[in-house]
Structure 1
């Protein structure tokens, strides 16, 4: 997963504060992203770059190898067919990945790129961007959109800002987008290659197998065919039409390729005196012991290239065992005893981390510091060298001057996890998954406890942060992911003396803010998130789903009655998270359920927004009124619609007496449905009698919001039920008028693509600013001036704004309901001329949401200086 999903339990109790804020201030939100920017939103990794990295990592393909696949009868039949699946399986080290690179290159060479789209993806077990079903689909969609940009029309609606986060993590939605794209009349034929499906997690492997290889699919598969490569899988969730088995059917072909690889590799030994006299014997011994395994040859050649005489080479060959398992045992046995502990730890970390680390990150994580005239990275190099041929450092194409820790071959990882305890010489290298994740999570927490987060929150992506604290980014994002993989480790993780885990910890608050800054939830942090982090660790255990920590705290007489400044207790969090077991424990231990407390309606809204149907039903059955507005000004039905959870919506729809009830800001459930674009919910609400032409405090109707979000089908439904198209909002705009505004958004975003150093976060602020200006009016030309001139974050200066066509409108931003009137130009001047200064002249109202417009003007260095109210 990506790191966001690890916090799903934490988010569910709080996100209504963020998303509901978007309902209130929806007019700054852009509609659908421009079709040609959808690829940027989907981007996790670029398969084309990954393919180039594989070439760097594994070296160039030996001439003549892999070519047997072009003459294989199953491959030829698959290639000649209009559709269908081809599966190739082989044991570890057989050269499947190099073969997949070769196949993708040949497919691109031999097929007309105007009529056939060639897609590919390379799965990697230790990189979260390459080892899940969601990551695979996002990678394929990214590549498909890069090659056929016009298909962005299928991705644009689901990727609008109000639903982008959900879409990017939803396998079902991503699959529908993919299927719709393949089914487009403009697509003639698609060939897809997926390498290493076995390196995905178990659930993803099962999901992808069923999605891609099942014959029970729609008609679009008639122009789609897929080639999958993996190790033999114990359980297949599909019946491939054709199956190439390298371990049985293609032994001769594999053996011939390995022979060519050996002949090429031993050329590196030719400079050794008299090598010609033993060359034939070396070739015979390598071929005999390799067992058709490229990896075995590659590893042993690394050892032979260290020898300086023919006798040394012959001795090494004679001592070398047959097969990868025996070879790994030998390599581990040869590690210097003085370095055994450090090598074991390095292998453990590289095996279990969730993404490759740079050498600087790994050195910092392991606690190496400059010593004896050596830098921390140089010390790490010494320990890596002690691991011998098991680890090789390669330059990382995507990290410029940095070097990346290598990925252990999956066969080595499997061997380390299955070392038998009766091998004392290598027992210290055995990797036990649970203790390893516990070690990493404990190290992450310890690192955070001594980091700069003790005094302030920060942006992890700033260069000086990466330089000063290389491991901070990984520790902050992934500590809980590792913690969740250590079942039963609550007692070991929980340290009441830890500054991170203590009640009302400033360190934890700063970590929380920094984390959400990384995932672009600025409004959530400012408006709601900061206060929600206050409270004892029992609250965090419930929010993060740390069941063992919760159980330990329960045994330690935790205070279930504690209320934070919002009146929230552990019982509130358990119910809104939908956790019946924890709720029962809290109630049995004296947790009070006072139905008269106003906080329960807020909890009901939180549970409704997150789709926690058990929590919603529990509160309803215990007397909490679903028709009562929460203290924040929301109704459960409206936020359930905004959360897009159909089961919860249906339940509340049957319990709500007035489905047209307007919240504090005049928004109705139908308006929320128009924002999300859920056609089923729109129809359901209209059929139940929802008033179509109601207006909110900005005089926007449901039709306005459907237009803003470019929900054409939603607009059609509203039109069929006679929505009034002549109604104008507070800014004298009809629903139709919003189309011109959205065209301007597209224009600015198209300009953005050619601007260096502009981050995705900045684009969000830019889009928010444009939509704000479309309603505010006076600032519109200022926004477009900044975008049109293509100034970078670091180069932009106050004077740029004076160059806009037609000049600037030096007017205040505020309209009737906004309490602040700080001129934009003053903010811009401060933000871009004093990047290290605190911004104190701007007063933000916690109840309003135009901060995004101010924020987009500021570079990241100043953005993080703006304090939450």
Structure 2
């Protein structure tokens, strides 16, 4: 018992490991909380300890080994925390720290996670892993020994700390070797864990492997770019492709290979850009062709960027045009990291609104912008099953695709995109748009179908042991006779025969169905009569639901009751299995485990589930049910022998009404409020109701009134049920209590329910008309917004028009002082802005705003807002129709042109200049605006665009001749190397004859920067201005005014200048050396200096005398040998050899 308790004690007291690596515990051990996991493992160890003493010494030895490895793991976890701390200190404190420091820290974190997994899991606490953990511990000991010998407080005598000064560079090789050993141990330990899990029959191997693969992502710094990508992510196209292969099997060799031999494909392949359309009816293998083509392109075009997207109308993250764009954009960014600069500036302004359905136009502009940026690089794209995209958004996408490839369009000349689309020939918008492009039609596909049949029959013959027998030939003959060129039919029949005996196979071959609809009809006809009603209800829910439903959701939806010996989930699975080829069971879980939004589901991977495994709600919560193929949904919807044969004639609007009513009943249940994930334990369908009731109500169209009558409490003026719904809907914003008393009009706008909004606004009598006039302009929520504010955000012009029709006031401001007109100018689209400008109130606002733009009063206008949003059409209308002054300045002095450049809307900036007459002077302000967002990856393109379109180059100067690098500070400084690449001229002088060395002390703050300036400019370190002053004189002069001195100036600048040969004996035009100038300032004192140079004497400058004394001492006592800028770099500690004064 003692050994068992010791094991538990060892595990329970490794709190550092548990806290640091709790995410791994969650992934590896299922949906328990951390305390439960530790308690469960502890009890197992304790019970094992008891059995040790009762049974054998061998158990005692195993317990001792477990204790030993737990102890070693705990020690290494503590080591890793210390090593990570030291690594962070090095990174944060020293600019010259090794570039690999971040990678080193990630390696130790990765190894720490694996060790923590061993510590937390008894199954991994085996002797085989102990040597590796001990080696890790030994490496950790050695790393700590090195780090603890480094004096992090040491400086070079001037208060400057660097990696070189503390001696770290002397140990870099040794540290690097140790971290390489860490990387080796991490890989070794990962392999060992995988072997153990496989041998023990666990399924955690994939999770650990996934964790290893995800380490680099998990520990990336939380930059804007990373957060933007997280918001952009909607689905992983690579996982989607792999999931399809897992579900449907691999392609039969020889099939699909005729496609590249066609003239259409070859023409497409050799062109610089173009579109190829491949179409065919259901079951012809279009998706397999798409998979084949993605692999083919990756292999045959290794220098091209190959991207793809597999549409699926069963999954909301893959059936809308906006999501297609998000999937393509994120692939481009992953393969060309610099493209983050194309989306991050807009995301910084719009946030997650950028990725909503109403942002299609903005996302398309970003996608086009990325293609233009890659104009010298070929991009190949495959869009599969485009017919499964939501039809309204599909039409918009097809229009954009058409304009992208039309020969008359300019865009076709500036991108290098090669696109393949596979689809059916329905809906009609597909052939209407795509038939003008090269087209391959999938007919009988005789060659491919024969290969596929041979492959399937060969597999079946091996399984049944009938290879070479006449029965095998008969199977192949029967398949070829009945297949009709449909791969899906062959797949279904092969699967059915595999489950029959050899004797049954021969008879079954005489009864084969002739086509897919007949396959589905037979499935329904075989369902047991007692189950038909429940199965029909289940199929109805699956057919009309907005996303795949889980087993537990289906149980709740169909209201399945458990029996004496079967759970609801097991009964549901029986119904599902009775549907044969109609349905499939897939596994998947929301990324954070409690996010029930449909568009955030992880990829669904089909699995085979046994009824014995489905014995609880938890086991069914991650099993999703969906249709095997689109043809199954078509059959159930369109055939009289489908659901209609089981359940009577089907009215889709009535079905949506029934589902809406059921979901609203769940929302209206009078229960104490609990968080959604807790309430879902008792009501599994509740999360679906929260986020999808409005979808079903929207599908009802104008027939929604019956639902309103049935659920009056939910739709009355004030409703507790509606408040409860909003609290659940709003749950993803922690720390912010959702506002109560949700107005009906605001809810209609949030949910996009046009007919509900129209119904609520109808003036059925005079009194109600007056009340609704007040409600339509009611402000509500954290931002105190009207319904019009909300609809402008969503960009739905039809609902905006309705609100305006019933008296929505455009002039009402939200809590941030913004009107709906401001929102439309910023967010677009142009159609919504046009609608708002049609009202008299809007016209008055715009006229007053336009007038203020010409009054030379500095204030932000709608023109500035439209420029910030990047909307060319809106800017044109404001200038040409409403006569805005294109040179109007906001409160910060920025014109619309400067705002566009600051927000990286470079094409808009060019438009403002060339089409609307914006002035490009002063050029230096435009140049400085380009650096505002500090987008390093895009600055070269920005500078090129400014130079070619606006005649603004990197050496632009102000009226006094000062360039950006004459200033005390500019965002351009952090992109010094990029500026040099585009022609930065350090030798330019201002009207006072000063170079950048006289004015910019950031450049002389380090040896590396000054070396770079001197090498690039060929300037003499002792160059003089019009007053004969050298950079040393200028440094002394500016140091005499600490209140005006730039933040980058301290006494290290003086030392750096001296190290590079600054002559302290040269005199200026008044005969003063730098030392004499400092002494003169010291004698005068701050008040006299201020009066002499016209500075406000009320500013006390107490530190000036001390600074001047320090300068005099350094100039008189610091000895150094001048550095040759053309030789290898020297460390600062090698440069001075005389007495060095202490610094304060």
Cα gap change, 1:303 to 1:550, in 2 (>3 Å): same
Structure 1 residue 55: Cα displacement:
1.1
1:444 aligns with 2:649: no
Whole-angstrom CA distance in 2 between matches of 1:47 and 1:292 = 28
1:97 aligns with 2:287: yes
Q: Counterpart of 2:319 in 1: which secondary structure?
A: coil
1:641 aligns with 2:830: no
Mapping for residues 455-470 of structure 1, pairs under 5 Å: 455=673, 458=675, 460=676, 464=678, 467-470=681-684
Cα gap change, 1:117 to 1:576, in 2 (>3 Å): farther
Whole-angstrom CA distance in 2 between matches of 1:610 and 1:659 = 26
1:175 aligns with 2:364: yes
Structure 1 residue 51: Cα displacement:
0.3
Structure 1 residue 344: Cα displacement:
1.4
Deviations 1:795-829 (A, max 9, x none): xxxxxxxxxxxxxxxxxxxxxxxxxxxxxxxxxxx
Q: Counterpart of 1:561 in 2: which secondary structure?
A: helix
Partner of 1:51: 241
Select which of 688, 691, 695 maps to 1:477: 691
Structure 1 residue 359: Cα displacement:
2.3
Equivalent pair of 2:551/2:569 in contact (CA under 8 Å): yes
Structure 1 residue 117: Cα displacement:
0.7
Task: Tell which deviates more after alignment, 256-265 or 323-332.
Answer: 256-265
Q: Counterpart of 1:392 in 2: which secondary structure?
A: strand
Whole-angstrom CA distance in 2 between matches of 1:276 and 1:467 = 55
Select which of 531, 556, 566 maps to 1:364: 556
Whole-angstrom CA distance in 1 between matches of 2:763 and 2:884 = 51
Structure 1 residue 693: Cα displacement:
5.2
Partner of 2:848: 657
Task: Tell which deviates more after alignment, 212-221 or 173-182.
Answer: 212-221
**TM-score, normalised via structure 2 length:** 0.50
Whole-angstrom CA distance in 1 between matches of 2:585 and 2:805 = 60
Equivalent pair of 1:210/1:238 in contact (CA under 8 Å): no
Cα gap change, 1:576 to 1:283, in 2 (>3 Å): farther
Whole-angstrom CA distance in 2 between matches of 1:626 and 1:483 = 29
Q: Counterpart of 1:406 in 2: which secondary structure?
A: strand
Cα gap change, 1:623 to 1:224, in 2 (>3 Å): closer
Select which of 613, 634, 656 maps to 1:414: 634
1:382 aligns with 2:569: no
Equivalent pair of 1:141/1:178 in contact (CA under 8 Å): yes
Structure 1 residue 642: Cα displacement:
4.2
Partner of 1:229: 422
Partner of 1:392: 584
Partner of 1:320: 512
Task: Tell which deviates more after alignment, 602-611 or 56-65.
Answer: 602-611
Structure 1 residue 489: Cα displacement:
2.8
Q: Counterpart of 2:383 in 1: which secondary structure?
A: strand
Select which of 208, 219, 224 maps to 2:412: 219
Select which of 246, 251, 254 maps to 1:64: 254
1:267 aligns with 2:458: no
Whole-angstrom CA distance in 2 between matches of 1:604 and 1:167 = 20
1:191 aligns with 2:380: yes
Structure 1 residue 704: Cα displacement:
10
Select which of 557, 561, 565 maps to 2:768: 561
Deviations 1:75-134 (A, max 9, x none): 33322332222222222111111221122112112221xx30111111112222111222
Equivalent pair of 1:270/1:276 in contact (CA under 8 Å): no
1:110 aligns with 2:306: no
Whole-angstrom CA distance in 2 between matches of 1:389 and 1:375 = 24
Partner of 1:595: none
Cα gap change, 1:220 to 1:432, in 2 (>3 Å): farther
Equivalent pair of 1:68/1:253 in contact (CA under 8 Å): no
Q: Counterpart of 1:393 in 2: which secondary structure?
A: strand
Structure 1 residue 165: Cα displacement:
1.0
Structure 1 residue 615: Cα displacement:
10
Mapping for residues 518-667 of structure 1, pairs under 5 Å: 518=732, 530-531=740-741, 533-534=742-743, 561=768, 569-572=771-774, 638-644=822-828, 646-647=833-834, 652=842, 656-659=847-850
Q: Counterpart of 2:287 in 1: which secondary structure?
A: helix
Partner of 2:954: none
Structure 1 residue 341: Cα displacement:
1.2
Partner of 2:343: 155
Q: Counterpart of 2:421 in 1: which secondary structure?
A: strand
Whole-angstrom CA distance in 2 between matches of 1:491 and 1:722 = 61
Whole-angstrom CA distance in 2 between matches of 1:424 and 1:181 = 46
1:405 aligns with 2:625: yes
Cα gap change, 1:134 to 1:614, in 2 (>3 Å): closer
Partner of 2:452: 258
Whole-angstrom CA distance in 2 between matches of 1:316 and 1:442 = 45
Q: Counterpart of 1:229 in 2: which secondary structure?
A: strand
Deviations 1:600-635 (A, max 9, x none): 997887788788999999999999998897898556
Partner of 1:688: 884
Whole-angstrom CA distance in 1 between matches of 2:658 and 2:491 = 32
Partner of 1:292: 485
Whole-angstrom CA distance in 1 between matches of 2:552 and 2:785 = 49
Structure 1 residue 321: Cα displacement:
2.0
Deviations 1:260-279 (A, max 9, x none): 3432342365247x993422
Select which of 695, 714, 719 maps to 1:500: 714
Whole-angstrom CA distance in 2 between matches of 1:167 and 1:220 = 28
User: Cα RMSD between the aligned structures?
Assistant: 4.8
Q: Counterpart of 2:250 in 1: which secondary structure?
A: coil
1:145 aligns with 2:363: no
Equivalent pair of 1:489/1:548 in contact (CA under 8 Å): no
Total equivalences in the alignment: 657
1:306 aligns with 2:499: yes
Select which of 694, 697, 700 maps to 1:486: 700
Structure in which a larger fraction of residues adopt helix: 2
Equivalent pair of 1:162/1:675 in contact (CA under 8 Å): no
Deviations 1:636-689 (A, max 9, x none): 654553454542576636653354779xx9865466446535466668479634
Whole-angstrom CA distance in 2 between matches of 1:551 and 1:680 = 30
Equivalent pair of 1:356/1:405 in contact (CA under 8 Å): yes
Q: Counterpart of 2:584 in 1: which secondary structure?
A: coil
Cα gap change, 1:413 to 1:263, in 2 (>3 Å): same
1:136 aligns with 2:353: no
Q: Counterpart of 2:626 in 1: which secondary structure?
A: coil
Whole-angstrom CA distance in 1 between matches of 2:690 and 2:808 = 38
1:77 aligns with 2:277: no
Unmatched segments (≥5 aa) in structure 2:
1-221, 589-601, 606-618, 937-1144
Structure 1 residue 254: Cα displacement:
3.2
Structure 1 residue 506: Cα displacement:
1.6
Partner of 1:858: none
Cα gap change, 1:607 to 1:185, in 2 (>3 Å): closer
Deviations 1:665-722 (A, max 9, x none): 98654664465354666684796349955549xx999999879856678899899587
Partner of 1:121: 309
**TM-score, normalised via structure 1 length:** 0.65
Q: Counterpart of 1:120 in 2: which secondary structure?
A: strand
Q: Counterpart of 1:91 in 2: which secondary structure?
A: coil
Equivalent pair of 1:35/1:150 in contact (CA under 8 Å): no
Whole-angstrom CA distance in 1 between matches of 2:707 and 2:760 = 12
Cα gap change, 1:261 to 1:486, in 2 (>3 Å): farther
Equivalent pair of 1:641/1:672 in contact (CA under 8 Å): yes
Q: Counterpart of 1:160 in 2: which secondary structure?
A: helix
Cα gap change, 1:313 to 1:269, in 2 (>3 Å): farther
Instruction: Between the two structures, name the one with larger relative contact order (CA 8 Å, sep ≥ 6).
Output: 1
